[in-house]
Chain A
Amino acid sequence: MGSPRYFYNVAGKMIPWFAISFLLTLIAGIYYGLFVAPPDYQQGESYRIMYIHVPAAWMSMFIYIVMAVAGLISLVWRIKITEITIISSASVGASFTFLALVTGSLWGKPMWGTWWVWDARLTSELLLLFLYLGIIALYSAIEDKRVAARAISILALVGVVNIPIIHYSVEWWNTLHQTSSVTMTGKQAMSTSMLIPLLLMGISFKLYYGAVVLMRARAEVLERDRNTRWVRELVEGEMK
């Protein structure tokens, strides 16, 4: 299971499935979100940016947790694939965090009248972006990539302390940012017609992450194993 060659083949077979289901949920989510869901009684049409903003913010935290779990596994069991997962996830996570910040800022302008407020959630999201960038910078600064992978494992674990601070910051400092409208239990604060596209987009973004992280991990596997026989055979097979 842990062998890079096996992973390379299985991942190659999984990518199309992730990609196709990503596209289907994306089209459905965007259609529902932009055309079917009713306008908000307070925010009008401009709330629809939520269908990008909220899933991106979910992903920014989800990916970091994935990285921390992968970091723990690679530190304890030294599994190559989880080491590769961390660095393959980092830039995807950083992109989602950036997307959440940009869309949040675009949403903030009509709603709050300003592009940026030093609200707890925005600030934590910005810090999360720095945590991602720190991981990427540390990985690229260490030449031996196996050592680099273990170093960022520790960093991801240390940084995961920041995730609960992001999540509970709304309750702690409760300022301008609206509190979370989606809860697992209890009464929904959002109507079902608005919630369905949001959940569709959430699933769609997760599938996108799955497809991209597998692609990046495959490339990383090839680069790390470039001197082994199976990669050479693979490349020679491609050349023919």
Chain B
Amino acid sequence: MSTLSLTSAFILLLKRDLVLAYRRRAELVNPLLFFVLVTAMFPLGIGNDPKLIQAVGPGVIWVAALLAALLSLDTMFRSDFDDGTLEQFMLSAHPISVLVLAKILAHWMITGLPLFIAAPLLAMMLNVPTDAIPTLMLTLVLGTPVLSLIGSVGVALTVGLRRGGVILSLLVLPLYVPVLIFATDAVKTSIVGIPTSAHISILAAMLIGSLVLAPLATAASLRISLS
């Protein structure tokens, strides 16, 4: 029996996932590149009227973030599933939900955080007023972890399937909608100049709620997928 404490197991796992991601730097930029590309497609598709672009800007950034998160979800458990690491998790003395949380955190740091850093630049390009950019950043920092958390349940359910990709988007996207609604509404509200604390509180509540519940559901789903 190992004497590793739960905290150090958590930190070790987090470090391991970050190191593995760092060794594959080329893959690391893919979600970010996708995010920027999708955002750039919208003005090309809807025309270059600055007013129109400003009106759809927050929504475009958030939809692009949603799609980028979805695209990167599959990497969360894929390699660990293929090489049997997940089965070793199941044998571990520690609760799987905590180990899963470490993997979700790592996934968010790899895919969510870069979006957060790139977002102000894209917001400027979409004519989002400077005053509203802090709100956009706040919604991203509260919202993108929810995307990783909810997404982890979907990935855990589909990781054993050969053609899981399309099903994953069908499972996960409807559940992303509340985040999308409140986040974009917060940014739009702040563009008009109305306080957004209500939206931010609801987003924070979603984050806390999914932080508590999603790892449990993910752990249960992994157990099913590996059975």
Contact = CB atoms under 8 A, between A and B. Distances in A.
Interface of A: 75, 123, 127, 130-131, 133-134, 137-138, 141-142, 147, 150-151, 154-155, 157-159, 161-162, 165
A147 B171 CA distance: 17
A165 B174 CA distance: 12
Contacts of A138: 157-158, 167, 171
B96 to A, nearest CB: 14
Given A138-B158, A142-B161, A162-B174, A151 B224 contact: yes
Most A CB contacts (10 A, CB to CB) among B160, B164, B175, B221 go to B175
B153 A154 contact: yes
Contacts of B221: 151, 154
A151 B157 contact: yes
A165 B178 contact: yes
B109 interface: no
A154 B217 contact: yes
Interface residues of B, number: 22
Interface in B148-196: 150, 153, 157-158, 160-161, 163-164, 167, 170-171, 173-175, 177-178
Interface in B53-86: none
| List of 5 A-B pairs having minimum Cβ-Cβ separation, nearest first | A130-B174, A134-B170, A127-B174, A134-B171, A150-B224
B170 A151 contact: no
Contacts of A127: 174, 177
A141 B221 CA distance: 15
Contacts of B174: 127, 130-131, 134, 159, 162
B225 A151 contact: yes
B67 to A, nearest CB: 16
17 contacts: A123-B177, A127-B174, A134-B170, A138-B167, A138-B171, A141-B163, A141-B164, A142-B161, A147-B224, A155-B171, A157-B217, A158-B153, A158-B175, A158-B217, A161-B175, A162-B175, A165-B178
A134 B217 contact: no
B168 to A, nearest CB: 9
Interface string B3-21: 0000000000000000000
A162 B172 CA distance: 12
B186 to A, nearest CB: 14
B204 interface: no
A134 B177 contact: no
B211 interface: no
Most B CB contacts (10 A, CB to CB) among A133, A137, A151, A155 go to A151
B158 A75 contact: no
Nearest to B185: A173
A127 B171 CA distance: 10
Nearest to A136: B170
B2 interface: no
Interface in B191-227: 217, 220-221, 224-225, 227
Nearest to A131: B174
Contact of B161 (A130, A134, A141): A141
Interface string B95-117: 00000000000000000000000
Interface string B128-161: 0000000000000000000000100100011011
Given A158-B217, A159-B174, 20 more contacts: A123-B177, A127-B174, A130-B174, A131-B174, A134-B170, A134-B171, A134-B174, A137-B167, A138-B157, A141-B163, A141-B167, A150-B224, A151-B224, A151-B225, A154-B217, A154-B221, A154-B224, A155-B157, A158-B150, A162-B175
